[in-house]
Amino acid sequence: MTNKAKSELYKNAGVDIDLATSLLKSVKAKLSASRRPEMLAPIGGFGGLFQIDLQKYKNPVLVSSIDGVGTKLMVAAMLEKYDTIGYDIVNHCVNDISVQGAEPVYFLDYIGIGKLRSPLYEQVLGGIADACAAVGCAVLGGETAEMPGMYGNEFDLVGVITGIVEKDRIITGEKIAPGHVAIGLASNGPHTNGFSLARKVLFEQCGYSARTVLEELGGESVGEALLKPHICYWPAIRQAMDEGLRLDGIAHITGGGLYDNTPRILPPEVNVIFDKNALAIPPIFKVIIEKGNIDLVEAYRVFNMGVGMVWFLPPADVDAALKICRAHGYTTEICGEVTPGDGSVEIK
């Protein structure tokens, strides 16, 4: 039996090896654009090789994180628009390690799919490559698993990121104390969290489609508002660290919102009081809350409600931090204060 015949048998079973190879070739140029000099082998090997530059780092600590895009993928499928999904997974992962001060150095992706198809594959991988290149993070490798018996027309997307931070520069939150100021960096929508509730309200209860245009969304469709890519905040963190600002704690506001994410970095003897009016709530949240009759406390636990990240600094560094964030294009405002307490969060 020839290799061609074997491939045809596998193809008839639902897995097209030749298509996977062809589609990967079409995005290799973008993937190569994310290379870093520490990479010792091209993409495609059994393992990615990355040599830590010990001239650059004196006492390096590796910081890793893994996450997925969740059911936001279903909204992308409704619009057949996949070019921002790669940004979602990369930026979410970058933010997760940047809160500890880690520079993102390499990224791995996993796509599990029922049937590989174009342009989905190229758009997803192209977005991953572009998002990584934007922050100087190498795409070290990845895996695409075509599994027709496990998935239908759906797919899943997972990312793994590794960063490096000097041990004496790790941001832990342990120095947050009464008198510290919280500044919020605005989100542009749900980012990659809360989509199960958003879909239930918008598509099941309201009967909207992803292409339904709402006046409340400023003329955008529901799908467009939901698919805005997760914002990456690392460039501002990097500059703040380089300029010596006292970033004593950073919280990435993902699933669980302000109520659940902020306490992850708070010392047990302090509270944070947030001002819910400090940053504008994106219109998509207002629509979901109103149409779904959702209590505000629950909304602030499910969604970021317009706050994508929170920095904690002593008052002397607040003005400089605001200036840096705004220079990078982030809408940023003082959004809270730290008081004596028991490690809890209040939103007023």
- pLDDT (tens digit, 9 = 90+) per residue, 131-158? 999 999 999 999 999 999 888 889 999 9
The pLDDT score that the predictor gives to residue 28 is 79
pLDDT at 3 over 60: no
The pLDDT score that the predictor gives to residue 130 is 96
β-partners of residue 122 are: none
Assign domain 181-347 to its CATH superfamily: PurM-like C-terminal domain (3.90.650.10)
The pLDDT score that the predictor gives to residue 19 is 79
Token pair, residue 133, equals 């290149």
Reported as a single tens digit per residue, the pLDDT across 63-112 is 999 999 999 999 999 999 999 999 999 999 999 999 999 999 999 999 99
Provide the 10 A C-beta neighbour count for residue 261: 22
Distances (CA, A) of 340 to 95, 180, 182, 272, 273: 28, 11, 14, 9, 10
Where is pLDDT greater, at 104 or 47?
104
Provide the 10 A C-beta neighbour count for residue 24: 17
β-partners of residue 165 are: 61
The pLDDT score that the predictor gives to residue 90 is 98
In angstroms, the CA 306 to CA 253 distance is 9
pLDDT band at 44 (very low <50, low <70, confident <90, very high): confident
Indicate the helix (H) or strand (E) that contains 329: none
Measured at the CA of 278, the angle between CA 277 and CA 283, to 5 degrees, comes to 60
Reduced DSSP (H G I as helix, E B as strand, rest coil) percent helix, strand, coil of the chain, to 5? 40, 25, 40
**Could you tell me how many residues make up the chain?**
348
pLDDT at 4 over 70: no
In angstroms, the CA 69 to CA 90 distance is 10
- CATH 3.90.650.10-classified regions of the chain: 181-347
Reported as a single tens digit per residue, the pLDDT across 52-77 is 999 999 999 999 999 999 999 999 99
pLDDT band at 34 (very low <50, low <70, confident <90, very high): confident
The pLDDT score that the predictor gives to residue 6 is 56
pTM greater than the 0.75 cutoff: yes
- CATH number of the structural domain 3-169: 3.30.1330.10
pLDDT band at 2 (very low <50, low <70, confident <90, very high): low
Average pLDDT, the chain: 94
pLDDT band at 7 (very low <50, low <70, confident <90, very high): low
Reported as a single tens digit per residue, the pLDDT across 217-261 is 999 999 999 999 999 999 999 999 999 999 999 999 999 999 999
In angstroms, the CA 245 to CA 312 distance is 11
Query: Longest C-alpha distance within the chain, in Å?
Result: 75
- CATH 3.30.1330.10-classified regions of the chain: 3-169
Provide the 10 A C-beta neighbour count for residue 190: 27
